[in-house]
A and B are shown apart, each in its own frame.
Chain A
Amino acid sequence: MAVQVRIPTILRSYTGGEKAVSGSGGTLAELIDDLDGRYDGIKARLVTDDGSLHRFVNVYVNDEDVRFLGSLSAPLADGDDVTILPAVAGG
């Protein structure tokens, strides 16, 4: 099950500068574990010690915020687009 993951500038030091990488997993948590296997340390930037998504990290599956889809348990399907972005101010 392959998904495309867009990596923000701030995390590209982990992906060797790659803007987008592919990964796999049936849930967001599984995807992050898969990424961490190849891009060591990236999980610690996304997930806090208590096992929840970092407050200032937003993750979208097909443009929808995962916090409304089950957060780390959000299901992923083959071909999904996952976008990771830091939370910034609008207004």
Chain B
Amino acid sequence: MRFDSLVDSVGHTPLVGLPRLSPSPDVRLWAKLEDRNPTGSVKDRAALWMIADAEKRGRLHPGATVLEPTSGNTGISLAMVCLQRGYRLVCVMPENTSVERRQLLRMWGAEVIFSPAAGGSNEAVAVAKRIAADNPDWVMLYQYGNPANAQAHFDSTGPELLADLPTMTHFVAGLGTSGTLMGVGRYLREHAPDVRIVAAEPRYGELVYGLRNIDEGFVPELYDPAILDARFSVGPRDALARTRELVELEGVFAGISTGAILHAALAQAERAVAAGIRADIAFIVCDGGWKYLSTGAYSGTLDEAARALEGQLWA
């Protein structure tokens, strides 16, 4: 396949069957390999769509500064796109993220401002909003509320999935900004309304939920529960166990958030088997495991690996 430039190659990722993890020939799991994007994550789609949308609206001009709160992957994707388009990128990232994420951000030319670990991404959003107020000429794309984030998946991920798997019965993805679930979900509601849309959200250690009061809570502006059929919270131990099964049984080397998604996908598979119904369950492999090697996710016992993730934003 030939493309005019790297950003033109975003998307069109493979959907691969998982014959050993699938419980039966009638209940099958399919992995959408989003690690096959230019920076190795699903966020390349949202980054490209948000930048293109801002350019179309005249919000971005050569030399502009882009600002974004991110736990890592969106920042890395934006850095890749901004570097090629001639924009400066400033990312606000919680300090409890993997060392590889900050190395990659800097490699692609982004500047990183750290926000305190306590409060996780909530705090990164709050810090970014303060910086944006102090720098009115900077452009905050704001992945949590930017419709172009979900639109990327409505325009690309959703159509790719349904074209590759017209018999799809379930779609399972991670819930962070909710962009993937809202975009693919809306596309499927229009074109394959019987598909169950299932969210898997990471359950972190207590530090991340350390708000001072409930009113500091956060629900992404993009999130619309009406698009979803179910939502599961997956802790680090289950996510790690599934991440390891995925590489050990199927050879797919994925990041830890993908393990959380697979855990929810397998729960749907078990329900289909118990109900005696056919199922084709597609789920998102958000990124590869490379960025998480330093966390110890792939070595030692599960308990050791889970302990190492305590307090970390692992998804």
A binding-site residues for B, Cβ under 8 Å:
8-10, 45, 54-58, 60, 63-65, 67-68, 83, 85-91
Q: Is the CB of B121 within 8 A of A89?
A: yes
Chain B residues lying within 8 Å of A45, measured Cβ to Cβ, are 214
Once the chains are docked, how many angstroms separate the CA of A64 from the CA of B233?
Answer: 6
Given the known inter-chain contacts A9-B210, A89-B122, A91-B74, please indicate yes or no for A63 contacting B215, CB distance below 8 A. no
Q: Which of B70, B74, B209, B233 contacts A86 (CB 8 A)?
A: B209
The interface on chain B, measured as residues whose beta carbon lies within 8 A of the other chain's beta carbons, has a size of 44
Q: Is the CB of B217 within 8 A of A55?
A: yes
Determine if B307 is an interface residue (Cβ-Cβ < 8 Å): no
Q: Which of B144, B174, B218, B233 contacts A85 (CB 8 A)?
A: B233
Once the chains are docked, how many angstroms separate the CA of A87 from the CA of B121?
Answer: 11
Q: Is the CB of B225 within 8 A of A8?
A: no
Q: Is the CB of A91 within 8 A of B143?
A: yes
B68-85, CB < 8 A from A: 69-71, 74
Q: Which of B5-13, B21-29, B58-66, B198-206 contacts A (4 or more CB under 8 A)?
A: B198-206
Q: Is the CB of B124 within 8 A of A86?
A: no
Q: Is the CB of A89 within 8 A of B231?
A: no
Q: Is the CB of A56 within 8 A of B70?
A: no
Determine if B114 is an interface residue (Cβ-Cβ < 8 Å): no
Given the known inter-chain contacts A9-B206, A54-B214, A67-B225, please indicate yes or no for A89 contacting B220, CB distance below 8 A. yes
Q: Is the CB of B217 within 8 A of A57?
A: yes
Q: Is the CB of A10 within 8 A of B70?
A: no
Chain A residues lying within 8 Å of B208, measured Cβ to Cβ, are 88
Q: Which of A9, A56, A64, A91 contacts B176 (CB 8 A)?
A: A91
Nearest B residue to A11 via CB reads: B214
Once the chains are docked, how many angstroms separate the CA of A87 from the CA of B218?
Answer: 5
B106-148, CB < 8 A from A: 119-122, 124-125, 143-144
B binding-site residues for A, Cβ under 8 Å:
69-71, 74, 119-122, 124-125, 143-144, 174-177, 199, 201-203, 206, 208-220, 225, 228-235, 315
Minimum CB–CB distance for A4 against chain B, Å? 15
Once the chains are docked, how many angstroms separate the CA of A58 from the CA of B231?
Answer: 11
Chain A residues lying within 8 Å of B121, measured Cβ to Cβ, are 88-91
Minimum CB–CB distance for B297 against chain A, Å? 18
Nearest A residue to B210 via CB reads: A9
Q: Is the CB of A68 within 8 A of B229?
A: yes
Q: Is the CB of B211 within 8 A of A63?
A: no
Chain B residues lying within 8 Å of A90, measured Cβ to Cβ, are 71, 121, 174-177, 201-202, 220, 315
Chain A residues lying within 8 Å of B229, measured Cβ to Cβ, are 68
Once the chains are docked, how many angstroms separate the CA of A10 from the CA of B203?
Answer: 16
Minimum CB–CB distance for B209 against chain A, Å? 5
Select the residue from B69, B215, B230, B231 with max chain A CB neighbours within 10 A: B231
Q: What 8 A-B pairs are tightest by C-beta distance, nearest first?
A: A56-B217, A90-B176, A89-B121, A65-B231, A91-B176, A91-B177, A87-B217, A89-B218
Once the chains are docked, how many angstroms separate the CA of A86 from the CA of B229?
Answer: 21
Chain A to chain B contacts (Cβ below 8 Å), 7 pairs: A10-B212, A55-B217, A86-B211, A86-B214, A88-B209, A89-B176, A89-B220
Q: Is the CB of B144 within 8 A of A89?
A: yes
Q: Is the CB of B209 within 8 A of A10?
A: yes
Once the chains are docked, how many angstroms separate the CA of A87 from the CA of B233?
Answer: 12
Chain A residues lying within 8 Å of B125, measured Cβ to Cβ, are 89
Once the chains are docked, how many angstroms separate the CA of A58 from the CA of B143?
Answer: 22
Once the chains are docked, how many angstroms separate the CA of A58 from the CA of B176?
Answer: 14
Q: Is the CB of B220 within 8 A of A56?
A: no
Q: Which of B74, B119, B232, B235 contacts A88 (CB 8 A)?
A: B119
Chain B residues lying within 8 Å of A10, measured Cβ to Cβ, are 209-214
Select the residue from B69, B212, B217 with max chain A CB neighbours within 10 A: B217
Minimum CB–CB distance for A21 against chain B, Å? 16
